[in-house]
Amino acid sequence: MAAAPVKPFGPTMQPTPQKPRPTPTLREPGASPKRPGRPGAFVRVVISLLIVWHFAGVFLAALSIPTSSQLVMDAAQHRPMQWYLDALYMNQGHSFFAPEVGPGHLIRYELFDQSGQVMEKGEFPKDEWPRLRYHRHFMLADQADMPGSEESSKYWQRRYLEAYARQLLRTNEIAQTALVRRIAHWPLPRELALQQRTLTDPEGYELLMEVTQRRSDLGPEETNQSLMWQGGQMNTAGRWNGAPR
Amino acid sequence: MIAATRNYMAEVWEAWNEFWFTPISPSTLSAIRVLAGAMLLYTHLVWSFDLNAFFGHNGWLPAEMMQEAEIAGNDPDGPGPVVGAPRWNWSHFAFAQSPKMMWTVHVVALAVFFLLMIGFFSRTMALLGFLFAVSYANRVTPGAYFGLDKINCMLAMYLMLGPCGARYSVDHLWRLKRGGPTEVPPSTFANLAIRMIQIHMCIIYLFSGIGKLQGEPWVTGTASWLSFAMLEYQSLDMTWLAKFPRLLNFMTHLTVFWELSYCALVWPRLTRPWVLLMAVFVHGGIILVLGMPTFGLVMLIGNLAFVSPKTIRKVFDPVARRISLAIVGKASRAGGSD
């Protein structure tokens, strides 16, 4: 019986062929070789500077979420960076569901006729279809606020709710008064879920603010939207009492 | 010492060039164009239900109030401005004021998104699509926007940088019909656009993870439960998970770890498939459970930037080939060489 061939190992092992490794070459700094399809060096330098500028902006925008350093806030909130971020809709952070989760918000409203009787009750978001439409209405309820001091937060919440009440009056020409409530709906604690309490438990709802608008509050319909949008000329700061973020 | 430094700088510059300026197949960028175009079209089609209510001068979000709100704080989770500083939140709704005009522009915008999706004058449509997407988003920020708008605008912005209509497009069919080559050459600007989407996705996930670390529920592992227990978001009842607190903790920690590590682990070939698989789970959960199918899908479209052109071609080419053969009688080789 022939002995099985012994596999050589150790120092006597034949060297296995290896992939040829590229020999490092000394290059002149900044003079990377032109490869097919690559733009010229000057174009690459210009594009590289633009890339650095662009991602500095993306980074600063996300980093400047309060609370942030004054250095970062200054860099992100002053020209030209702020205009760049504004123009490209990059003036935002990315803190999805963070740092806190919830509460969700909803708007409940009642419309009253001339005799003061409730003629319509409703809430949103509720049954809007498709789901994206539901979500837009959900965001109306969720974003009817502005971070900042308690005073400014209340100011902005009132502004948004008054606008919603006026919109409800516009869509229902018979209604004379609209009462709008903004409700926070807190997530059900897990312990209560284990006690068979449901997500619609009344204890989870908290009234944040209610406003009333009458038909007389509608005022004359504005016709020239561009005056509001082109400006930057209006002394809007004077009308706002909140603290800078 | 000086020579070593010079050599090091040269290597850094070469690595930078390799990363940004190596021509690649435009297949991935083209696939992103198709899907992002579809998402932009759908997003803005849904606005049609309430165009006057959301974008009208005196709708839910009156123009005057929005102007003030933008100056006071452009975005609830973004950089707040110096009070009173003028912002550049431009929107065509400043000029398209009457309902008739608004609807006319809206129909044009929908046409642009449709043409972007099918790839007809793709680069031009990507530019116009970006302008329209930002214009709509600016008008409802802050008020009715959310993550979907941010990612829509981001994808549209990068699509216009590269040859997004090189494949899976009417442009490509048109070139074939006129006797052009069936194979599309690699493109530096396709790489540039894809790299920018990749880096932007990394920054999004990094700051999303950092933001979560600042919240107690994300640190203590209860955030997953709280997400499932918010009725307004719920599209699938997951409250049965209340009986499994450790699982809820694990899901929370895994989400934070994944978001924080995404920017590092998505690059090596060894870990990339796992990171992308996790993206499918996380965003799939958002689609199925948290009632945000559009946001979940658009994030997955962004993640496609990390899928190689070869893999993209395996999926897209068979369909594209059939369409091409039916219309112009010739087509690119399915799952081609790139």
Sequence-separated contacts (24+) of A108-111 with Cβ below 8 Å:
A108/A180, A108/A181, A108/A183, A109/A164, A109/A165, A109/A168, A109/A178, A109/A179, A109/A180, A109/A181, A110/A178, A110/A179, A111/A168, A111/A169, A111/A172, A111/A175, A111/A177, A111/A178, A111/A179
Burial of A7 per CB tally in 10 Å (0-12, 13-18, 19+): exposed
Dist. CA B98–CA A223, nearest whole Å: 8
Which DSSP state fits B304?
G
Tell which A residues from 201 to 240 touch B, by Cβ distance under 8 Å: 221-226, 228-240
> Is B46's CB within 8 Å of A136's CB?
yes
Tell which A residues from 113 to 172 touch B, by Cβ distance under 8 Å: 125, 130-140, 143-148, 152, 156, 159-160, 163-164, 166-167, 170-171
Domain ranges, ordered by start, for chain A: 41-87, 104-219
Which chain A residues are Cβ-neighbours of B232 within 8 angstroms? 104-106, 125, 138, 185
Q: Percentage of residues in chain A with pLDDT exceeding 70? A: 76
Domain ranges, ordered by start, for chain B: 24-328
ipTM of the shown complex: 0.93
Predicted confidence band at B85 (pLDDT cuts at 50, 70, 90)? Answer: low
CA within 13 Å, CB half, B229 = 28
Q: Is the pLDDT of residue A230 over 70?
A: no
Q: Is the pLDDT of residue B108 over 50?
A: yes
pLDDT of residue A4: 44
Average predicted confidence (pLDDT) for chain B: 93
Contact by Cβ (8 Å): B119, B30: yes
pLDDT in tens, A174-210: 999 999 999 999 999 999 999 999 999 999 999 999 9
pLDDT in tens, A40-98: 999 999 999 999 999 999 999 999 887 788 899 888 888 889 889 999 999 888 888 88
Dist. CA A12–CA A8, nearest whole Å: 7
Tell which B residues from 31 to 60 touch A, by Cβ distance under 8 Å: 42-43, 46-47, 49-50, 53-54, 57-60
| Chain A interface mutation, best of B226, B243, B252, highest count of A Cβ atoms under 10 Å | B226
pLDDT of residue A20: 52
Ranges A138-142, B85-89, B252-256: which has the least confidence: B85-89
Residues facing A124 on adjacent strands: A107
Predicted confidence band at A16 (pLDDT cuts at 50, 70, 90)? Answer: very low
State the pTM of this model: 0.88
Q: Percentage of residues in chain A with pLDDT exceeding 90? A: 56
The count of other CB atoms within 10 Å of the CB of residue A151 is: 11
CA within 13 Å, CB half, B178 = 6
Dist. CA B60–CA B83, nearest whole Å: 24
Q: Please tell me which residue, B67 or B266, carries the higher pLDDT value.
A: B266
